[in-house]
Chain A
Amino acid sequence: MENLNLILPEITLFFGICLSLMVGVFFKNSFQITMKLSILILLGVIYLILTSWSGDKQIFLDSFINDKFSNYFKVLILISSIFVFFSSNQFIKDKKLFKFEYPIIIMFSVLGMFFMLSANDLILFYLGLELQSLALYVLAAIDRDNTISSEAGIKYFVLSALSSGLLLYGCSLLYGFTGTTNFNEISNNLNSENIGAIFAMVFILVGLAFKVSAVPFHMWTPDVYQGAPTSITNFFAVVPKATGLAVIIRFMDIPFKNILHEWQTILIFIAIASMILGSVAAIGQKNIKRLLAYSSISHMGYALAGVATGTYSGYTSTVIYITIYVIMNLGAFACLYLMKVDGTYTEKIDDLSGLSKQKPLLAFSFLILFFSLAGIPPLGGFFAKFFVFMAVIESELYALAVIGLLTTVISAFYYLKVIKIIYFDDVRVSFDDIRNVSIKTTIFLSCLVLSLYFISPSFINIILDGLFI
């Protein structure tokens, strides 16, 4: 008998989803109830993960692994999902999107991510990925009466299905050339003379790069970010990105460990391309969601730069980077929920002009969040970049480090543009007063963490201690 305690969080989450589904179906106007129930379920799962973990263990013929790495990311995506629910409540009400399926579908995708994070086998990994993607397709098109949102959903579906296909092809090649689907055994059977397996690696990497929207597989990002409702974009910008990076680290660390030189070049290219494109293309954007889309592309570039080192300190720096990235984006998107003019939500950057005179506190939050996104010390975003460059220079990838540092200057330009519009320009439109505690709490917590991060910049490092051997 397998020890089912190890997948207790997953089981709980699954039955929780079923429960909320039933509640959603049998109660009238059940949106608020399912929303609250889902937050409770997610909190319960966090509790289970934190209490039940007792060392790295593998079950189901070593196909499922329950280790510190996967648990760290599970807690991270659970916390960020809770904050997404928490802050998007008002927005959903105003947009009349209160379908009870909304929290349920998000939880399904979280369940898929749990299996991706814990997978130690190609088949389990692919099943998790598909569960996650399927839920995300539905989410992108959830505002189905809106043409832009439906277009975004279709676009995301077509491209994502293509990339899943490539990934599956890569998995099958890998199985063909190594004779196994288990990650550890693949790692043992793989060496750099195995050309077929290297092809497989390239296909898998392409599929994963698509999921984290790294250049040159980033085309969907701005459109989907803009088209989907802000609450969905909020989720898209944070949770699948964290999972995608975790899975990339897992693949590079275990199955592809022996072909480091082969994938390192590819990742360096992807990282550099993402950093450059993300920072250059964002300059001309007028829509703040598109701007954040390009900004997330360039952030993925920095995060992948940490992976590209192929060292444990590099992986750790990526984990720190993605954690701080999640905190920054949760805050930034929560600010978007407050951009409401005469009852409708606006996404134009120009509408922010003169915000500092109207709403000094919101303007100040934007200031902290955007300077932090730009990576200016002493805010949290600086330390994220600092640890990545620390690892990159340790591995003597000087070109990557210098290009990365120079692109931070370019990207500083467009973050400054937003600050400039908020602080230096005159008032154009007046924002509505939104009295919503949960949005403001999210922004406040995010700003607090980012601005006080410098007091103890190593607290994530301490949590991560022993993550990679």
Chain B
Amino acid sequence: MNFPILSTIIFLPFVGALFLFLFSQKDESKSSIYISLFTSIANFLLVLFLWYSFDKNESGFQFIEEAIWINGFIKFKLGIDGISILFIVLTAFITPICIISCINSIKKRLKEFLIAILILETFIIGVFCSLDLIIFYLFFEAGLIPMFLIIGIWGGPRRVYSAYKFFLFTLLGSVLMLAAIIFIYWSVGTTDYTEIYKLKIQKEYQYLLWLAFFSSFAVKTPMWPVHTWLPDAHVEAPTAGSVILAAILLKMAGYGFLRFSLGMFPIASEYFTPLVFVLSIVAIIYTSLVALMQEDMKKLIAYSSIAHMGFVTLGIFTFNKQGIEGSMFQMLSHGLISAALFLCVGVLYDRTGSRMIKSYGGVVNYLPKFSLIFIIFVLGALGLPGTTGFIGEFLVLVGTFKKNYLAAILASTGVVLCAAYMLWMAKRVIFGELNKTISKLKDINYLEGSILLILCLLSIIFGFYPEPIMNTMDLTVNVIIDNHQNELATNLTSNK
């Protein structure tokens, strides 16, 4: 038996949180920052080691851990492949950034906030590692509790409404998934993902089960028309909360589509592709138009997140290599760029207490370093070649062209609209007429500058050299597509 590295990665933040909970000193805020930072960075290093020792030439799951969990029913099974490792890296990378970002922005009850963030990290990594549907559901749902508290305690004025909306929307979507998981258990005889993959789910059940899973993932993605919780949650959440929400939590749904909807219900996925395409394209165009009219920067970025996730779902359901790899890349790049954009807004918000576009103007005159970085991220978000955003969107569009011309053309307009609202916001905030209040502001400090710079460098490096990421997921994506094609072929022959 090898060292259980996945369990260690999952539960290390939890242990850190426990330590933080039991640890109380007079100088609480400083020591708790150190403890949580230490835990999360240690976890990140472990994850990097995991990525390094991950065998890219093996198609199956690696680092598998198994233990009896519920007697006779369910095994506690963990394992990773080329898709999940990337999300784990993203999660472990974003968490320390969140912790650093809250040094200045969280004014009250810092210790509790850090506990919530660390526990959330445990649950999110758990989602990406679990190979059993019940374990997956457990982690998927458990994340609601810390996120509810993060929005509700440290959020803005309408935080209670937003926290409720977030919690109840996601819970409603997920309970149907639970029913579906239990049904799968009784019809297939196991909830072990790798077993289900081999045993296959009967064709006539797939449609309803797909819809049940879809209800959960669509809320989480979020897809139009169940996206309305996201702007509220983003606007009211504190900066670190928004970063986690945009960068990681939304990716759980994309991951879910890729792993569970495609993997377990290939026939239903093919059958419902038009539905997903229509909803994604509506999301891309509609939310871009809505974003154009936003006066609150956070809300604008929230709507742009919905549009970007529209590209992700579009790409996943093309079932070809370009589309799926594009979506994967888009998710990772969105994880970096939207996190950075929220951090940028947080930087402004900490200084002036306003997120409204109209209270800024001419920021470039007094905060030149900040403005440079902000513009880079704006360009990254609209998919400028040379940033990660470009590769993702480009691949998704190529994949969509293969599948459906009309969808691709409509989705392309989203790219243009994205440029419109992003650049217009940049123009009004960074350039434009000088607002008097701006002149009192200080440029970004050492800490803020360093985390933004890291994000900036990463999004440019991977924008020019995406090979490490592509390389990692290549084989797994091939397996997913092959499996999908085989399933459809056998289905076709059995129909004849």
Check if B38 is an interface residue, CB within 8 A of chain A: no
**Which B residues are CB-close (under 8 A) to A376?**
141-142, 144-145, 171
Instruction: Determine if B144 and A424 form an interchain contact, defined as CB atoms under 8 angstroms apart.
Output: no
The minimal Cβ–Cβ distance linking A454 to chain B, given in whole angstroms, is 7
Indicate whether A457 sits within 8 Å of B69 (C-beta atoms), given known contacts A377-B138, A393-B183, A424-B160: yes
Chain B residue with Cβ nearest A413: B168
Q: List 6 A-B contacts (CB under 8 A).
A: A356-B153, A377-B138, A389-B178, A390-B73, A424-B152, A424-B163
CB interface residues, A 360-386, toward B, < 8 Å: 360, 371, 376-378, 382, 386
Instruction: Determine if A393 and B186 form an interchain contact, defined as CB atoms under 8 angstroms apart.
Output: yes
Instruction: Determine if B71 and A405 form an interchain contact, defined as CB atoms under 8 angstroms apart.
Output: no
Indicate whether A461 sits within 8 Å of B163 (C-beta atoms), given known contacts A405-B175, A423-B152: no
Check if A446 is an interface residue, CB within 8 A of chain B: no
Instruction: Determine if B69 and A409 form an interchain contact, defined as CB atoms under 8 angstroms apart.
Output: no
Taking a contact as CB atoms closer than 8 A, the residue among B148, B168, B179 that contacts A405 in the complex is B179
**Which A residues are CB-close (under 8 A) to B279?**
none
The minimal Cβ–Cβ distance linking B7 to chain A, given in whole angstroms, is 12
Query: How many of chain B's residues have a CB under 8 angstroms from any CB in A?
Result: 34
**Which A residues are CB-close (under 8 A) to B61?**
none
Instruction: Determine if B153 and A423 form an interchain contact, defined as CB atoms under 8 angstroms apart.
Output: yes
Check if B286 is an interface residue, CB within 8 A of chain A: no
Q: Which of B152, B175, B186 has its CB near the most chain A CB atoms (within 10 A)?
A: B175
**Which A residues are CB-close (under 8 A) to B178?**
386, 389, 405
Give the CA-CA distance A398 to B183 in the complex, in Å: 9
Check if B149 is an interface residue, CB within 8 A of chain A: yes
Give the CA-CA distance A405 to B70 in the complex, in Å: 21
**Which B residues are CB-close (under 8 A) to A386?**
134, 178, 182
Instruction: Determine if A408 and B175 form an interchain contact, defined as CB atoms under 8 angstroms apart.
Output: yes
Check if B234 is an interface residue, CB within 8 A of chain A: no
Chain B residue with Cβ nearest A396: B186
Chain B residue with Cβ nearest A457: B70
**Which A residues are CB-close (under 8 A) to B112?**
360
Give the CA-CA distance A138 to B185 in the complex, in Å: 48
Chain A residue with Cβ nearest B149: A423
The minimal Cβ–Cβ distance linking B15 to chain A, given in whole angstroms, is 14
Check if B416 is an interface residue, CB within 8 A of chain A: no
Check if A401 is an interface residue, CB within 8 A of chain B: yes
Check if A416 is an interface residue, CB within 8 A of chain B: yes
Taking a contact as CB atoms closer than 8 A, the residue among A390, A401, A406, A416 that contacts B185 in the complex is A390
Instruction: Determine if B175 and A406 form an interchain contact, defined as CB atoms under 8 angstroms apart.
Output: yes
Instruction: Determine if A416 and B138 form an interchain contact, defined as CB atoms under 8 angstroms apart.
Output: no
Chain B residue with Cβ nearest A390: B182
Instruction: Determine if A412 and B69 form an interchain contact, defined as CB atoms under 8 angstroms apart.
Output: no
**Additional pairs, 18, CB under 8 Å, beyond known A409-B172, A416-B168, A424-B163:** A360-B112, A376-B141, A378-B139, A386-B178, A389-B182, A393-B183, A402-B176, A405-B179, A408-B171, A409-B168, A409-B175, A416-B148, A416-B164, A420-B152, A420-B163, A423-B149, A458-B70, A458-B71
Chain B residue with Cβ nearest A360: B112
Instruction: Determine if B159 and A424 form an interchain contact, defined as CB atoms under 8 angstroms apart.
Output: yes
Give the CA-CA distance A356 to B108 in the complex, in Å: 12
The minimal Cβ–Cβ distance linking B164 to chain A, given in whole angstroms, is 6
The minimal Cβ–Cβ distance linking A216 to chain B, given in whole angstroms, is 25
Contact with B along A411-450 (1 / 0, CB 8 A): 0110010011001100000000000000000000000000
The minimal Cβ–Cβ distance linking B75 to chain A, given in whole angstroms, is 11
Check if A262 is an interface residue, CB within 8 A of chain B: no
Give the CA-CA distance A424 to B158 in the complex, in Å: 11
Give the CA-CA distance A132 to B149 in the complex, in Å: 43
Give the CA-CA distance A386 to B182 in the complex, in Å: 9
Instruction: Determine if A405 and B176 form an interchain contact, defined as CB atoms under 8 angstroms apart.
Output: yes
B interface residues (Cβ-Cβ under 8 A, vs A): 69-73, 112, 134, 137-139, 141-142, 144-145, 148-149, 152-153, 159-160, 163-164, 167-168, 171-172, 175-176, 178-179, 182-183, 185-186
Instruction: Determine if B186 and A377 form an interchain contact, defined as CB atoms under 8 angstroms apart.
Output: no
**Which A residues are CB-close (under 8 A) to B182?**
386, 389-390, 393, 401
The minimal Cβ–Cβ distance linking A57 to chain B, given in whole angstroms, is 28
Taking a contact as CB atoms closer than 8 A, the residue among B137, B159, B163, B167 that contacts A377 in the complex is B137
Give the CA-CA distance A132 to B112 in the complex, in Å: 47
The minimal Cβ–Cβ distance linking B188 to chain A, given in whole angstroms, is 13
Chain A residue with Cβ nearest B24: A360
The minimal Cβ–Cβ distance linking A391 to chain B, given in whole angstroms, is 9
**Which B residues are CB-close (under 8 A) to A4?**
none
Give the CA-CA distance A423 to B148 in the complex, in Å: 11
Check if A94 is an interface residue, CB within 8 A of chain B: no
The minimal Cβ–Cβ distance linking B218 to chain A, given in whole angstroms, is 16
The minimal Cβ–Cβ distance linking A323 to chain B, given in whole angstroms, is 15
Instruction: Determine if A412 and B71 form an interchain contact, defined as CB atoms under 8 angstroms apart.
Output: no
Check if A62 is an interface residue, CB within 8 A of chain B: no
**Which A residues are CB-close (under 8 A) to B164?**
413, 416, 420
Instruction: Determine if B149 and A454 form an interchain contact, defined as CB atoms under 8 angstroms apart.
Output: no
Chain A residue with Cβ nearest B186: A394
Give the CA-CA distance A389 to B163 in the complex, in Å: 27
Give the CA-CA distance A408 to B171 in the complex, in Å: 9
Give the CA-CA distance A423 to B159 in the complex, in Å: 12
**Which B residues are CB-close (under 8 A) to A413?**
164, 168
Check if A469 is an interface residue, CB within 8 A of chain B: no
Check if A462 is an interface residue, CB within 8 A of chain B: yes
Q: Closest 3 CB pairs between A and B?
A: A405-B175, A458-B71, A458-B70
Give the CA-CA distance A376 to B167 in the complex, in Å: 11
The minimal Cβ–Cβ distance linking A405 to chain B, given in whole angstroms, is 4
**Which A residues are CB-close (under 8 A) to B142?**
376-378
Give the CA-CA distance A393 to B182 in the complex, in Å: 7
Q: Which of A402, A424, A454, A456 has its CB near the most chain B CB atoms (within 10 A)?
A: A424
**Which A residues are CB-close (under 8 A) to B144?**
376
Give the CA-CA distance A378 to B186 in the complex, in Å: 22
Instruction: Determine if A462 and B71 form an interchain contact, defined as CB atoms under 8 angstroms apart.
Output: yes
Taking a contact as CB atoms closer than 8 A, the residue among B134, B145, B186 that contacts A371 in the complex is B145
Instruction: Determine if B70 and A461 form an interchain contact, defined as CB atoms under 8 angstroms apart.
Output: yes
Give the CA-CA distance A253 to B182 in the complex, in Å: 25
Give the CA-CA distance A419 to B144 in the complex, in Å: 13
**Which B residues are CB-close (under 8 A) to A456?**
69
Chain B residue with Cβ nearest A402: B179
**Which B residues are CB-close (under 8 A) to A401?**
179, 182
